[in-house]
A and B are shown apart, each in its own frame.
Chain A
Amino acid sequence: MGTSIYCREKHECKADGAEKPGCTPQYMRISSTAKHSNRASEQINRGALMGIAVQLKGLTKRFGTVTANKDIDLSIEEKSIHAIVGENGAGKSTLSRIIYGMYFPTFGEIAIHGRKVRFGSPKDAIDAGIGMVHQHFMLVPELTVTENIILGNEHARLLGKIPLKKMEGAILDEAGKSGFTINPAARAGLLSVGEEQRVELLKLLCHDASILILDEPTAVLTPSETDRLFDILRSLKAKGKTIILITHKLDEVLAVADTVSVMRKGEIVGTMPTASITKPELATMMVGRNVLLRIENPPSLPERTVLEVNKLNFRTAEGKSMLKNLSFSIRAGEIYGIAGVEGNGQSELLQTLWGLVPQGCEISGDIGLNGKSILGRKPREIAAMGASHIPENRHRHAVILDYPVADNLFFGRHRENAFRKGFGFSRKSMEENTKRLVADFDIRCDNPSRQPLGSLSGGNQQKVVLARELNRPGISFIILAQPTRGVDIGAIETIHRKIIEARMHGIAILLISSELEEIIALSTRIGCLYNGTIRHEFTLEETAAKRMDEDRFRREIGLHIT
């Protein structure tokens, strides 16, 4: 296991005192010292000899009347990367939280390294050598990397001095062994997302975790950071760690995992080595039916220019230049895809297009929508000019989670005359609107006029937003930012089809996505955004031709955006 920076007194004090009142001998609480203690060796059963890191037997978890996990049997081998895939709501997160001790299973048994355990809290799981990197990182931005890692375990008396220098050395050491670089003195708030994630991983390694659970680790990473993460995971595996990867991205599963378990509706529908399965097969298992991974994209016949961005410059309040002479145009009936690594000006472009520029930012150049400038206008005025925006962060910007589905289906469009009646809204036209959109976009919900939007799955929430925006009267231009982020495969298909449909109706669409696959599948033309400017643009003909060989096209785009 190597030397831990946490090798401190607790080893001795707990080694023989694992017995706690209320613990039956069979369900013994184990501590981080388990593998050092004599008692532990007696407890190892045949499972451990076969090298099973995590074994679940008949695991069921119910929340009230909802069964989130149903009768799950799963063996995760030691020294392997085991992926658990499934759509949103399939029960992956619940399962990982049970393993991590955040939830207590309703029925069933868990064995870690062959020993039955009952975790009362994540503390117990951590003591048993389990670590988890959550989807949302939990670092204190004001503290340095070292301080974050030792937080809660400072190796000093209450008023004593913390041996920071020594700690930094130990952390560098640990990082070096796992093959990644990090500056232990850097402030966490200044780190990139990829670096933050490495700090989280390092935290676990310094806690001597042998089983690492990663919940959607690539959701926030750029393609190159993803590759780097995978290299790290492979080297951790080589060092003997067991890695559990929770994800819904099938390409990644096939790229990095040894074994994959597919979950659907709370059950495990299959576990197999990744070498023996293809992506379409996995997708079918996940969704339970055949899905089109690639939507049909009929040729486009663009017409007049709708949006014209001309030499747009954006300077932040701190004086940082985020957009530099950015120019492009979008015609009616085409989808202009912007490919690029996050942080190259996408957010700034979106803010400018939707009239929500933070105070103190300087903007020059021009944006014309149907021949009229939109710079300096408010979102409401821009919307009135025939534009719509489907923002990147749906939860924060596009919906009111506590409002019922029906209200969200016209939120932002509530000023339209059709919905007005007296001082309030016309119940009749609201109901009509709801009924039509729910059917048209296949939005799955029980009672749209009562059910809060927040209770829907991510895919259905996004369908609500799309349904509302694509049906704006007199719309000529739509901004789509990350339209399928956090959306499951089944819903992606519907969403992509609706986007193509909108294009066929002559709407100009700006598509900004970090998924190159999505850009390639949907775009009519593609602009590669790098450092605030379009570095390269693929014409209509080029895009159509290159789409045939997706892998090659993806690599080619990759060259232009890094």
Chain B
Amino acid sequence: MLQNTKRFMTPFASVLLAFLASAAIITLGGRDPLMIFSKMGRAVFDSHYGLGQVIFRLGTLTLVGLAVAIPYRLRLFNIGGEGQLQMGAFAAALTGAFLPEFLPWPTASLICTLAGMTAGASWALLAGALKIRFGVNEVISTIMLNFIAQGITGYLLTYHFAIPSTVHTSPVSAGSVIPSLASLTGLFTSSPANASIVLSLGAAIFFHFLIFHSRYGFEMRAAGLQAEASEYAGIDTSRHILSALAAGGAAAGLGAANIVLGYKQYYEAGMTDGAGFAGIAVALLAGAHPLWVLASAMFFAILEYGGLSVNAYVPKDIFMIIQALTIFLVIGFNAARKP
């Protein structure tokens, strides 16, 4: 029981300590940390626009967090969320751009979303196949696949699909667009928040049930804890490696719905902006637990947008320090807890 309490407290203690450390850094920089934090708070919570920004970031961060968290259950460390998101976004944007205009709303955007998920899943599956066939460590292969994804999308964009003299593709068909929250509810005006947030929340809840309440999850967690025992019990661990990576990749690819279909409506070079890497932090802080991924993504979303909003007073890099410190502390506490 005591052990459980400690495990539960770890993320909170980490966040708190990271904030204290950053307060110290802000003070050293000659600013009042309380003023900065309260400005941040106001920027986020006092305006619809700010909240909308946070919701938008929450959507993507949840999905890339899940992309890391699901394979993590099998002790696989998916560093490739970025590449998977990029491939997903690119595939979704292209599909949307080439879909005929007469396809109506839910159908067209569903097709684009599925295209994004498929692309993300396939990209992750490559790493899975390399792992089970040749024993290639997934950390290395997913990192390398990030570079390859960057190269492929860059090449295709520049030489084939970009509108001349821009760095983005032509916009997706009208039916592929996921409506913004502003147009649906009248709230969050002019923010990038869109209806795909429902997909992100749904994904987290879905994976929670899949991992902790289904037979598939029972086998998957067993395979992650003790692969050999699972083999003896007749569980096909290779298949679980493939399916967990595919599920993670699909979650990252689903991010396309948020950043492409719901916001930009085209693919643009650099649009993922390292969100995939932030997913690692999200998943680690959440202890790879899908529902906690939501909370952890929320924290990072606030930090990200809040940091941006006080950029005039303190460089937003300070908030990257908080992010990194939090993860260091989580890892440190976890290591210290183990005998």
Any A CB within 8 A of the CB of B231: yes
Any A CB within 8 A of the CB of B183: no
Is the Cβ of A396 less than 8 Å from the Cβ of B229? yes
Chain B residues near A354 (CB-CB < 8 A): 232
Any B CB within 8 A of the CB of A402: yes
Is the Cβ of B228 less than 8 Å from the Cβ of A411? no
Given contacts A400-B226, A401-B225, contact A411 B233 (CB under 8 A): yes
Cross-chain contact of A424 among B213, B231, B235 (Cβ < 8 A): B213
Given contacts A356-B232, A411-B233, contact A403 B225 (CB under 8 A): yes
Residue in chain B with minimal CB distance to A378: B234
Any B CB within 8 A of the CB of A219: no
* Chain B interface, >50% SS class: helix
Any B CB within 8 A of the CB of A420: yes
Q: Kindly state the separation between the CA atoms of A524 and B169 in the bound complex, as whole angstroms.
A: 77
Q: What distance in Å separates the Cβ of A547 from its nearest Cβ neighbour in chain B?
A: 32
Cross-chain contact of B219 among A356, A378, A402, A414 (Cβ < 8 A): A414
Chain B residues near A415 (CB-CB < 8 A): 215, 234
Is the Cβ of A389 less than 8 Å from the Cβ of B222? no
Residue in chain B with minimal CB distance to A412: B233
Chain B residues near A391 (CB-CB < 8 A): 232
Chain B residues near A414 (CB-CB < 8 A): 215, 218-219
Chain B residues near A400 (CB-CB < 8 A): 222, 225-226, 229-230
Chain B residues near A425 (CB-CB < 8 A): 215, 218
Q: What distance in Å separates the Cβ of B7 from its nearest Cβ neighbour in chain A?
A: 13
Chain B residues near A379 (CB-CB < 8 A): 231-234
Any B CB within 8 A of the CB of A397: yes
Chain A 380-439 interface residues, beta-carbon cutoff 8 Å to B: 380, 383, 389, 391, 396-403, 407, 411-412, 414-415, 420, 423-425
Chain A 353-384 interface residues, beta-carbon cutoff 8 Å to B: 354, 356, 378-380, 383
Chain B residues near A407 (CB-CB < 8 A): 218
Q: What distance in Å separates the Cβ of A392 from its nearest Cβ neighbour in chain B?
A: 11
Is the Cβ of B213 less than 8 Å from the Cβ of A423? yes
Is the Cβ of B234 less than 8 Å from the Cβ of A397? no
Is the Cβ of A399 less than 8 Å from the Cβ of B229? yes
Any A CB within 8 A of the CB of B214: yes
Chain A residues near B218 (CB-CB < 8 A): 407, 414, 424-425
Q: Kindly state the separation between the CA atoms of A402 and B7 in the bound complex, as whole angstroms.
A: 15
Cross-chain contact of A397 among B213, B221, B225, B229 (Cβ < 8 A): B229
Is the Cβ of A402 less than 8 Å from the Cβ of B225? yes
CB-CB contacts of A144-181 with B at 8 A, as 1s and 0s?
00000000000000000000000000000000000000
Q: Kindly state the separation between the CA atoms of A391 and B229 in the bound complex, as whole angstroms.
A: 9
Is the Cβ of A380 less than 8 Å from the Cβ of B234? yes
Q: What distance in Å separates the Cβ of B6 from its nearest Cβ neighbour in chain A?
A: 13
Chain A residues near B216 (CB-CB < 8 A): 423
Chain B residues near A399 (CB-CB < 8 A): 226, 229
Cross-chain contact of A398 among B209, B232, B234 (Cβ < 8 A): B232
Q: Kindly state the separation between the CA atoms of A399 and B225 in the bound complex, as whole angstroms.
A: 10
Chain A residues near B233 (CB-CB < 8 A): 379, 411-412
Is the Cβ of A397 less than 8 Å from the Cβ of B228? yes
Q: Kindly state the separation between the CA atoms of A352 and B153 in the bound complex, as whole angstroms.
A: 48
The number of residues on chain A lying at the interface, defined by a beta carbon within 8 Å of a beta carbon of chain B, is 25
Select the residue from A356, A383, A424 with max chain B CB neighbours within 10 A.
A424
Residue in chain B with minimal CB distance to A402: B225
Residue in chain B with minimal CB distance to A379: B234
Q: What distance in Å separates the Cβ of A356 from its nearest Cβ neighbour in chain B?
A: 6
CB-CB contacts of B228-244 with A at 8 A, as 1s and 0s?
11111111100000000
Is the Cβ of B232 less than 8 Å from the Cβ of A397? yes
Given contacts A379-B231, A414-B219, contact A396 B226 (CB under 8 A): yes
Chain B 291-322 interface residues, beta-carbon cutoff 8 Å to A: none
Is the Cβ of A356 less than 8 Å from the Cβ of B231? yes
Is the Cβ of A403 less than 8 Å from the Cβ of B232? no
Q: What distance in Å separates the Cβ of B176 from its nearest Cβ neighbour in chain A?
A: 31
Chain A residues near B225 (CB-CB < 8 A): 400-403
Chain A residues near B234 (CB-CB < 8 A): 378-380, 383, 412, 415
Q: Kindly state the separation between the CA atoms of A396 and B233 in the bound complex, as whole angstroms.
A: 11
CB-CB contacts of B190-229 with A at 8 A, as 1s and 0s?
0000000000000000000100011110110110011011
Q: Kindly state the separation between the CA atoms of A290 and B292 in the bound complex, as whole angstroms.
A: 53
Residue in chain A with minimal CB distance to B234: A380
Given contacts A378-B234, A411-B233, A412-B233, contact A403 B222 (CB under 8 A): yes
Q: What distance in Å separates the Cβ of A178 from its nearest Cβ neighbour in chain B?
A: 35
Is the Cβ of B232 less than 8 Å from the Cβ of A412? yes
Q: What distance in Å separates the Cβ of A415 from its nearest Cβ neighbour in chain B?
A: 7
Residue in chain A with minimal CB distance to B217: A424
Q: What distance in Å separates the Cβ of B232 from its nearest Cβ neighbour in chain A?
A: 4
Q: Kindly state the separation between the CA atoms of A398 and B226 in the bound complex, as whole angstroms.
A: 10
Chain A residues near B229 (CB-CB < 8 A): 396-400, 411
Q: What distance in Å separates the Cβ of B206 from its nearest Cβ neighbour in chain A?
A: 11
Residue in chain A with minimal CB distance to B223: A400
Q: Kindly state the separation between the CA atoms of A425 and B214 in the bound complex, as whole angstroms.
A: 7
Q: Kindly state the separation between the CA atoms of A400 and B231 in the bound complex, as whole angstroms.
A: 12
Residue in chain B with minimal CB distance to A383: B234
Q: Kindly state the separation between the CA atoms of A398 and B230 in the bound complex, as whole angstroms.
A: 8
Chain A residues near B231 (CB-CB < 8 A): 356, 379
Is the Cβ of B215 less than 8 Å from the Cβ of A411? no
Q: Kindly state the separation between the CA atoms of A404 and B221 in the bound complex, as whole angstroms.
A: 13
Q: What distance in Å separates the Cβ of A219 from its nearest Cβ neighbour in chain B?
A: 21
Chain B residues near A378 (CB-CB < 8 A): 234, 236
Which residues of B approach A to under 8 Å, CB–CB? 209, 213-216, 218-219, 221-222, 225-226, 228-236
- Can you identify 28 A-B contacts, CB atoms within 8 angstroms? A356-B232, A378-B234, A378-B236, A379-B232, A379-B233, A379-B234, A380-B235, A380-B236, A389-B232, A391-B232, A397-B228, A397-B229, A397-B232, A399-B229, A400-B225, A400-B226, A401-B225, A403-B222, A403-B225, A411-B222, A411-B233, A412-B233, A414-B218, A423-B209, A424-B213, A424-B214, A424-B218, A425-B215
Which residues of A approach B to under 8 Å, CB–CB? 354, 356, 378-380, 383, 389, 391, 396-403, 407, 411-412, 414-415, 420, 423-425
4 nearest A-B residue pairs (beta carbon)? A380-B234, A412-B233, A423-B214, A397-B232
Apart from A378-B234, A397-B229, A401-B225, list 17 A-B contacts with CB within 8 A.
Answer: A379-B231, A379-B233, A383-B234, A396-B228, A400-B222, A400-B225, A400-B229, A400-B230, A402-B225, A403-B222, A407-B218, A412-B234, A414-B218, A423-B214, A424-B213, A424-B218, A425-B215
